[in-house]
Structure 1
Amino acid sequence: MNKRHLLSTIALGAVAAVALAGCSGSAGGGKADAKHITIGVFNGWPEGEAASYVWKEALEAKGYSVDLEYADAGPVFAGLAKGDYDVALDGWLPVTHKSYFDKYGSKITDLGAWNKDAKLTVAVNKDAKIDSLDQLAAASDDFGGKLIGIEPGAGLTEITQKKVIPEYGLDKMDFVTSSTPAMLAELKKAIDAKKDIAVTLWRPHWAYDAFPIKDLKDPKGALGAAESIHTVTRKGFDADHAEVNAWLKKFTMKSDLLFSLENKMYNNGGKKVTDYGPVVKDWMKDNKEFADSLTS
């Protein structure tokens, strides 16, 4: 190779290196990576996971490549602030994640609520004779004198012990705690046997689609007000992914749809699901009008 060819090769290599550098970006993408989206998914938060899978399917149908990356809520918010993630779909306001919105507010963007019915509940079988928590104590015998809870260390359990039980005089009922799967098993057993049952629960949850249940009214507000679930992006996402940002900004999902999606993913008639992608794809085919509205 003569000197001229050598210099040409070096120059072309430098140009290629610059081009490659321009194409590389953070995990959050950027203008040069306009067809790649990274969604941060909170560990153990099924509503956010379900919504994330819906958007993965919707965006990939439009030619985007989408990665779902799992972490706890705190690291996801921190990652959004650093640009490591593009989007997260599970920011709860005004209470649960307020501290993260306050801490990272200048480095993240709140696109608004996609569901406004997130709350802690006490649920009973739909044909129970009571409709309110202030009726439960007097009817405790109908429910076997038990209120079935979830994990002992859960926030819902703490609120039930410190607020719900004393404010509604439920101290004579046996508050049984063990785990969420155990509570759901007791719920199914009672429903199948056509017996009354009272459980601590929360919205959104697939149980509302799987079982004929209703929430007891909470006139004293012991369980707190409903929260909203928000879509959150990194700063600059709107400029780098204007089309997707516009779609996400108008995204809303009614609770009955969310319940049915979660039921398909996490219950599925009692069959264990190891790959949510095909399940979500089938659900979207069954709910085509909603699926089409996401990117229209």
Structure 2
Amino acid sequence: MGRIVSAIVSGVVAFTCAAHPLSAQDRGVTIGMTNWAENIAVANLWKILLAERNYQVELKSVDRVLAFSGLARGDIDLGLETWLPKTDKDVMDRFGKSIEVHDSWYKGTRQGFVVPSYVGIDSIRELSERRAEFPAAGEEAAIVGIDPGSSLMQMAEKVLDTYDLDMKLVNSSETGMMSALARAYRNRTPIVVTLWSPHWAFAEYDLKYLQDTEDDFGGSDDIHFMSRAGFGEDHPEALRWLNAWDMSDDELGSLMLTIERAGDAEAGASKWLAENRPLVDGWFGGGEAAAP
């Protein structure tokens, strides 16, 4: 869930090595990648890491629901992001019986209404009182959102009702929302956006969440990775590596920001990896050698 990099190329990266006698088909892995900054970041990182270890990796761009349904059907091998136990409960209720959910790799997510720190309010109730100060997208009073089918936007609609907040929730995209935030921040004008942590925006800008006294945004989740049924039996070493994967807010934030500044997901992930190899080596048993 930044200004999404201008080019996200789904492809297959193949390496051959005599030390790995399995066929290319046996070592093929398809990762379902949603169009969110953190998902793009970690999908491209794992594409590189698995390819280094002689896997053929395809990144398949999918929307939120297809990320889950594709795993349930077995069309996708891995999905690297589900927020549990709250945010993704609806899709897990639909598809979870056919999906294997594995260890969490990021703990303590957050989502809600966010404003630049120079804006002089701290809560959603204050926003209700000063709504006229936040025009956006041609509306007199508006909150700039993301994709209308996302869990965050569904929660945001509930928040408008709970707080009797007479503001327009503008459907956009992560790209559109971040462009609006960048313009407002540059001009130091008030803006409210729907944002979440982890996100590179918090490393780039000085932002704050508006206090949600009614807890309609659902509190904190952990991010887990998922696989199709049987993936662990087919690729036990890959599953072991992924279960050892863990990232802090600073680590993931720096990965996303490096990608954002690079303007290319795979190039940015490669740059971050070169600068953080000791951290990543720990996921592979403290420095397991990659395939040449």
The TM-score range, normalised by the shorter chain, is 0.7 to 0.9
Match of 1:160 in 2: 156
- In the TM superposition, residue 282 of structure 1 has moved relative to its aligned partner by 0.4
1:49 and 2:43 are equivalent in the alignment:
no
Kept in 2, the 8 Å contact 1:149–1:157? The answer is no
- In the TM superposition, residue 123 of structure 1 has moved relative to its aligned partner by 0.6
Q: Against the structure 1 CA distance between its residues 149 and 52, is the aligned structure 2 distance closer, same or farther, given a 3 Å change threshold? A: same
The structure that is helix-richer by fraction is 1
Q: Deviations over 1:248-286 (max 9, x none)?
A: 112222233323323333x32xx743xx22221001122
1:38 and 2:25 are equivalent in the alignment:
no
- In the TM superposition, residue 149 of structure 1 has moved relative to its aligned partner by 1.5
- In the TM superposition, residue 127 of structure 1 has moved relative to its aligned partner by 3.4
Match of 1:87 in 2: 78
Match of 1:250 in 2: 244
Q: Which has the larger radius of gyration?
A: 1
Q: Against the structure 1 CA distance between its residues 199 and 48, is the aligned structure 2 distance closer, same or farther, given a 3 Å change threshold? A: closer
Kept in 2, the 8 Å contact 1:206–1:263? The answer is yes
Match of 1:175 in 2: 168
Q: Against the structure 1 CA distance between its residues 61 and 123, is the aligned structure 2 distance closer, same or farther, given a 3 Å change threshold? A: same
- 5+ residue gaps, structure 2, are 1-21, 286-292
Q: Deviations over 1:48-98 (max 9, x none)?
A: 232111111122223333222333444444443454433221223334544
Match of 2:17 in 1: none
Match of 2:203 in 1: 209
Q: Deviations over 1:9-46 (max 9, x none)?
A: xxxxxxxxxxxxxxxxxxxxxx7669724133144243
Match of 1:185 in 2: 179
Name the amino acid aligned to 2:249: S
How far, CA to CA, are the matches of 1:59 and 1:129 in structure 2? 46
Kept in 2, the 8 Å contact 1:121–1:203? The answer is no
- In the TM superposition, residue 107 of structure 1 has moved relative to its aligned partner by 4.1
Q: Against the structure 1 CA distance between its residues 102 and 244, is the aligned structure 2 distance closer, same or farther, given a 3 Å change threshold? A: same
Match of 1:149 in 2: 144
How far, CA to CA, are the matches of 2:198 and 2:86 in structure 1? 16
Within the candidate set 220, 226, 247, 2:220 is matched to 226
Q: How does 1:62-77 map to 2 (within 5 A)?
A: 62-77=53-68
Kept in 1, the 8 Å contact 2:145–2:171? The answer is yes
Aligned identity (percent) is 29
Q: Against the structure 1 CA distance between its residues 242 and 167, is the aligned structure 2 distance closer, same or farther, given a 3 Å change threshold? A: same
Q: Deviations over 1:78-128 (max 9, x none)?
A: 443454433221223334544554455454321122223444311111233
Q: Deviations over 1:128-179 (max 9, x none)?
A: 3332223323454665674431258354445334x323433432xx436252
CA RMSD of aligned residues (A): 3.1
Name the amino acid aligned to 1:204: P
How far, CA to CA, are the matches of 2:105 and 2:27 in structure 1? 22
Q: Against the structure 1 CA distance between its residues 261 and 54, is the aligned structure 2 distance closer, same or farther, given a 3 Å change threshold? A: same
Match of 1:116 in 2: 107
Q: Against the structure 1 CA distance between its residues 285 and 223, is the aligned structure 2 distance closer, same or farther, given a 3 Å change threshold? A: same
Name the amino acid aligned to 1:131: D
Kept in 2, the 8 Å contact 1:122–1:215? The answer is yes
TM-score between the two structures when normalised by the length of structure 2: 0.73
How far, CA to CA, are the matches of 1:203 and 1:256 in structure 2? 11
Q: Deviations over 1:226-266 (max 9, x none)?
A: 3332211233332332222111112222233323323333x
How far, CA to CA, are the matches of 1:77 and 1:137 in structure 2? 36
Name the amino acid aligned to 1:116: K
Kept in 1, the 8 Å contact 2:31–2:57? The answer is no
Match of 1:197 in 2: 191
Q: Deviations over 1:203-233 (max 9, x none)?
A: 3333222221111121211222333322112
Kept in 2, the 8 Å contact 1:147–1:200? The answer is no
